[in-house]
Structure 1
């Protein structure tokens, strides 16, 4: 899977841009605020149906306009698939895949797997469980065809249960819902646990290069104690959940717990080391997908040099090449990317005040 062409209209500070892309490395160079990160954001929108910078559509639409339009041509298994996304400030959304109207943003995610590495990505390790759960579910989604439907059913059950908690006077009013939630929760936890176990060796292989001084381990927490059936915990916690107003145990509380030398990773690693661990986690997901699917992952790397020294940049560059997939990188200049630039597999774009142009400039290595 790769993007052959990308068009942006009224997206951030970009009025109109059309890019013919490399199936390998694409580098976007420009000053801060020039619009280079907006190109990554547009690809992220096409892959996940949302921005990684804001939840407010109005901030993504170019000033003075009602909405934005994104279009791309994807190369997939020898055929070209056009995709388009139009979104207005009022929330109205139109989505087309291969010329046909599509209803689910999940269809975009399935078609265009995207992994993002950016300077503010530390919350994957330093924030609450939700970002790690999302990281885990991205991988399961692309490996288990029935995951999205199962995940949706669990969410609906939780919503119904939480509503009943506010009106129920006896536990038996929730018993039916809890039986179904326990059954589906076990199934969902099984998918997550299997994926976590499968990808752990790849993460450890990469961290052996990135962080050789640390022994990195991953532990999956399913959202409730493994020695007690979920149904029993839901019943036992009925009064507590009523007081809280929501369900306190279950798959919605799942987490991935990472340790370095037996200590929670966020407590022992520096910012640069945390970034390397995040890189390892996301690169491992992309590599695992490439190994088990015909739809390779697209990597978006914002501010490549941030927090990394020369040796670590070289390691990251080598791992990206190993993935043999399409990569988009932003940088202020090309000096720190020279070792990655291959004339046969690289395109360089200059971005200035929302204007994007392809350039043949070559980098001089300062590595």
Structure 2
């Protein structure tokens, strides 16, 4: 699977562009502020329906325009799938896939699996648990077809339960939500654990290559201590605490993946450059897993490839990227810095003030 064509209209400083991509390596070269990252942002929109740079649509739309429009063609097992996406200043979203209107942005994810790596990627391990939960759920989404349905039901139940916490006086009033919530929580925790157990060997192999000087352990935490008591017991025992907090304090919405070195969180041991390498290893392992176990091809978006990486680490990263056999989009300020790392099977795009030319 690969993204073969991308048409952009009025996204940030790119007023119009029609790009044909290489199925392997695509280098996007330009100075800071030229618009090169906006190309990655456009691709990200087509994979997830949102930006990785801003949650405000009006900041993404070109100045003095009412909407931005994207059109793409995806080659999937030699079948061409057209995708169109438009987002307006008034919040309206129009989505068409293969000529038909789609109502949910979640369907985009099925067609274009993406892994994004940016200079801020280290926040995956140094930031809040929701970052690592999102990392894990990305993989479970593709691995287990029942996961998305279960997770949407859990989110709905939690929303109802949290609203009820503010009104009810006794725990019995929550029982109608908790019966289903506990059942689904056990299911989704088992789905996450099963995927995590399969992914860990690939993660360990990749980390050993990237950071051989460290012994890193990984553990999945489901969101409550299952060894001590069931989620039902946690919900019952924590009723008054949850009521005071205004939200449910235990459950799959609190799940985490914990990475440690000698018992300490990796963020407390590794430098920022090492953390970036560690996250690259995690993302690459997920991409390889998707290709090996799920017969799908992940697309990698790498912003500012050479940032905080010395030449040796850049060569190592390039080796793993080529090994993944995935389609890759890489932004750099100067192509000379990485030109020799990826061989000849590549296309180079030059971006200047939102104008894009092909080398």
Partner of 2:353: 353
Partner of 2:177: 177
- The 5 A counterparts of 1:268-347 are 268-343=269-344, 345-347=345-347
**Secondary structure of the equivalent of 2:61?**
coil
Contact 1:302 1:329 in 2 (8 A): yes
Partner of 2:199: 199
1:104, CA displacement in angstroms? 1.1
- Residue by residue, what CA displacement relative to the aligned partner does 1:291-328 show, whole Å, maximum 9, x if unpaired? 12332000000000011111100000000000001000
**Secondary structure of the equivalent of 2:219?**
strand
Partner of 1:72: 72
Distance 1:261 1:288 in 2: 27
1:226, CA displacement in angstroms? 1.3
Q: How many residues align?
A: 358
- Residue by residue, what CA displacement relative to the aligned partner does 1:262-313 show, whole Å, maximum 9, x if unpaired? 3210000000000000000100011100112332000000000011111100
1:258 matches 2:259: yes
Partner of 2:52: 52
Contact 2:31 2:352 in 1 (8 A): yes
Contact 2:322 2:342 in 1 (8 A): no
Partner of 1:237: 238
1:95 matches 2:95: yes
Contact 1:77 1:294 in 2 (8 A): no
- The 5 A counterparts of 1:138-217 are 138-217=138-217
1:180, CA displacement in angstroms? 0.9
1:105, CA displacement in angstroms? 1.0
- The 5 A counterparts of 1:16-55 are 16-55=16-55
1:348, CA displacement in angstroms? 0.2
Partner of 1:13: 13
Distance 1:62 1:176 in 2: 48
**Secondary structure of the equivalent of 1:347?**
strand
Structure 1 residues 255-264 or 139-148, which shifts more? 255-264
Contact 2:297 2:326 in 1 (8 A): yes
Partner of 1:362: none
Contact 1:217 1:260 in 2 (8 A): yes
**Secondary structure of the equivalent of 2:338?**
helix
**Secondary structure of the equivalent of 2:220?**
strand
1:194, CA displacement in angstroms? 1.0
**Secondary structure of the equivalent of 1:219?**
strand
Structure 1 residues 111-120 or 261-270, which shifts more? 261-270
Contact 1:113 1:298 in 2 (8 A): yes
Contact 2:26 2:330 in 1 (8 A): yes
Structure 1 unaligned segments of length 5 or more: list them.
360-367
1:85, CA displacement in angstroms? 0.5
TM-score, with structure 2 as normaliser: 0.98
Contact 1:76 1:295 in 2 (8 A): no
1:232, CA displacement in angstroms? 0.9
Partner of 1:246: 247
TM-score, with structure 1 as normaliser: 0.96
Q: Please report the RMSD computed on the Cα atoms of aligned residues, expressed in angstroms.
A: 0.8
Structure 1 residues 34-43 or 285-294, which shifts more? 285-294
Distance 1:356 1:293 in 2: 35
1:341, CA displacement in angstroms? 3.5
Distance 2:35 2:109 in 1: 24
Distance 2:342 2:177 in 1: 56
1:179, CA displacement in angstroms? 1.3
**Secondary structure of the equivalent of 2:71?**
strand
Distance 2:264 2:255 in 1: 20
Contact 1:289 1:296 in 2 (8 A): yes
